[in-house]
Amino acid sequence: MNEIVTYYNQFDEWGRLEREPIEFRVNWHFIKKYLPPSGSILDNGAGPGKYAMELAKGGYQVTLTDLTPKLVQIAREKAAELDLVSQFEAFHEADARNLAMLEDEQFEASLMLGPMYHLQNELDRIKAIQELHRVTKRNGIVCVAFMPRIRHLLTSLIHPEHWKPNDNMNTITQFDETGCFNHAEEGRFTGAYYFNVKDINPFMEKNGFESLELIGSNIGAILPPASWTYWKEKGEDEVEKVFEFIRERATDSSILGISSHLLYVGRRK
């Protein structure tokens, strides 16, 4: 956990979602589709609160949690800057595996759009999902983010020098078996866990959820920078059409594995 806090103390997560707007826009489209019209919402592992601020703007009462104190402080400052403090019930520094400060069935809906990336131990992943289940009301909606294993396997094959130790087939094969990846280079993303796409729904269902939809948050991640440059040079209208194309195909099960992130939507039993 110290590694995660250290990483996010120096990483601009708010800026990442600004620089990579497709992930945010696709996620937000589907989150809005499934959320109740009002109520109390948990944004668990919220980082600096990009999604939490949108929830607050929409009139929801929001509780924000994150492991990194600096990110919780940034979220407080963003809420004040946007005049949204009254929409927040609480800001907590908390580990997703232990939400003891929150009550059973406290929220109409819950978001967890980060913690599952960082939990390499299966029991830790189960703890985090069970805590999300505990604090969400019966029949409440949950949105949980995952990273697909096949995407990282392909990325390692395409850019092996950038993804050490996945610069040889022995370590790539080992990663394929375990889903655990640890950068060989200092300062890169924390140790991470990547799910097989086919395992996500069964994992959530085993832990008390009914699966509603699995979404590719950014299937456009497969496009290299030169491709984006081409479309941007065509103008904003053309870029918007590209986005709509990506969003419309976000639920296509045949291409989920090429997305950089996935969004699971389920209902708490």
Candidates 220, 231, 200; CA nearest to 260 is 220
In the block, tokens 């907590």 appear at 92
SS (H, E, C) the chain: CHHHHHHHHHCCHHHHHHHCHHHHHHHHHHHHHHCCCCCEEEEECCCCCHHHHHHHHCCCEEEEEECCHHHHHHHHHHHHHCCCHHHEEEEEECECCECCCCCCCCEEEEEECCHHHHCCCHHHHHHHHHHHHHHEEEEEEEEEEECEHHHHHHHHHHCHHHCCCCCCHHHHHHHHHHCEECCCCCCCCCCEECECHHHHHHHHHHCCEEEEEEEECCHHHHCCHHHHHHHHHCCHHHHHHHHHHHHHCCCCHHHHHHCCCEEEEEEEC
All residues at 6 or more sequence positions from 9 whose CB lies less than 8 Å from its CB, including other chains? 68, 70
d(CA 72, CA 64): 8
Q: β-strands 209-216, 262-268: how paired?
A: antiparallel
Q: According to the model, what pLDDT value does residue 73 have?
A: 93
Q: According to the model, what pLDDT value does residue 120 have?
A: 94
Q: Specify whether the CB–CB gap between 181 and 231 falls below 8 A.
A: no
Q: According to the model, what pLDDT value does residue 188 have?
A: 75
Q: Specify whether the CB–CB gap between 55 and 44 falls below 8 A.
A: no
d(CA 197, CA 1): 25
Q: According to the model, what pLDDT value does residue 189 have?
A: 73
Q: Along the chain (269 residues), what's the average pLDDT of each consecutive run of 10 residues?
A: 62 67 93 97 95 97 95 95 98 97 98 94 98 98 97 95 95 97 81 96 98 96 92 95 95 95 98
Q: Specify whether the CB–CB gap between 256 and 197 falls below 8 A.
A: yes
d(CA 252, CA 64): 31
